[in-house]
Chain A
Amino acid sequence: MIIWIQKAIGFAALITLAALGELLTEKSGGLNLGTPGTMCVGAATGFIAAFRYCQAVEEPSVIIILILTLLVSFLSAMLIGLIYSFFTVTLRINQNVVGLVLTIFGCGLAEFLSIYFVQSSSGNVRCDPANRVFTALIPWVSEKLGVVSDLLFSYGFMLYVTIAIAVGMHLVFNKTRIGLNLRAVGESPATADAAGINVSRYKYAASCIGSGITGLAGVYCVMEFKSGAWATADISTIQAFGWMAVALVIFAVWKPLNLLWGSLVFGICYWAYQYLPGMLGIKVSTDLAQMLPYIITIIVLIIVSLGKKKENLGPASLGMTYFREER
Chain B
Amino acid sequence: MKNSKIAHEPLFHITKRPPMSKLSAFSVRIGAFFAALILSALFVLITIGIDPWTFIKTMIKGAFGVPGAEKADSFSAFWSIFSKDSYFWITLKTACKLLLIAVALAPAFKMRFWNIGAEGQLLAGGMGAAFLMFNYGTLPVYILLPLMLIVSIVCGAVWAVIPAVFKAKFNTNETLFTLMMNYIAMKIVDYFYNLWRGPMSALGMINPSTNAGWLRSIWSGKEAAWFRNEDLIFMFIIILITVLMYLYLRFTKQGYEIAVVGDSQNTAKYAGISVNKVMLRTMAISGAICGLCGFLCVSSQSHTITSTLGNGYGFTAIIVAWLSKFNTFVMVGVSILIVALENGSMLMANTYGDLGFSPASAKIIVGVMLLLIIGCEFFINYKLAFRSRAAKKEEVTE
Contacts and interface: CB of A to CB of B under 8 A. Distances in A.
B16 A326 contact: yes
B180 A302 contact: no
A260 to B, nearest CB: 20
A247 B177 CA distance: 9
A250 B176 contact: yes
B369 to A, nearest CB: 10
A232 B172 CA distance: 36
Interface stretch (B18-26, B204-212, B272-280, B357-365): B357-365
Interface stretch (B67-75, B290-298, B375-383, B390-398): B375-383
B82 interface: no
B179 interface: yes
Given A96-B116, A105-B368, A288 B187 contact: yes
Nearest to B361: A112
B38 interface: no
Contacts of B188: 287-288, 291
Specify the main secondary structure of chain B where it touches its partner.
Answer: helix
- What range describes how many residues of B lie at the interface? 35 or more
Contacts of B368: 105
A144 B338 CA distance: 59
A101 B319 contact: yes
A93 B370 contact: no
Interface string A92-136: 111011101111111111111001100001000000000000000
A104 B363 contact: yes
Contacts of A112: 358, 360-361, 363-364
Given A97-B322, A302-B170, A295 B184 contact: yes
Contacts of A101: 319, 367, 370-371, 374
A24 B33 CA distance: 33
B170 A115 contact: no
Interface string A58-87: 000000000000000000000000010001
B170 A305 contact: yes
A105 B363 contact: yes
Given A115-B360, A297-B176, A323-B16, A291 B183 contact: yes
Contacts of A108: 360-364, 366-367
B114 interface: yes
Contacts of A109: 360, 363-364, 367
A179 interface: no
A142 interface: no
B363 A111 contact: yes
A188 interface: no
Contacts of A326: 16
**Closest CB pairs A-B (n = 10):** A108-B363, A105-B367, A111-B360, A91-B378, A112-B360, A287-B191, A305-B172, A287-B190, A291-B187, A305-B170
18 contacts: A91-B375, A96-B175, A97-B322, A100-B319, A101-B370, A104-B366, A108-B364, A109-B363, A111-B358, A111-B359, A247-B176, A247-B179, A287-B188, A295-B180, A305-B171, A306-B170, A325-B15, A325-B16
Given A31-B175, A97-B374, 12 more contacts: A97-B319, A101-B319, A104-B367, A106-B367, A243-B179, A246-B179, A247-B179, A287-B191, A291-B188, A298-B181, A301-B176, A319-B114
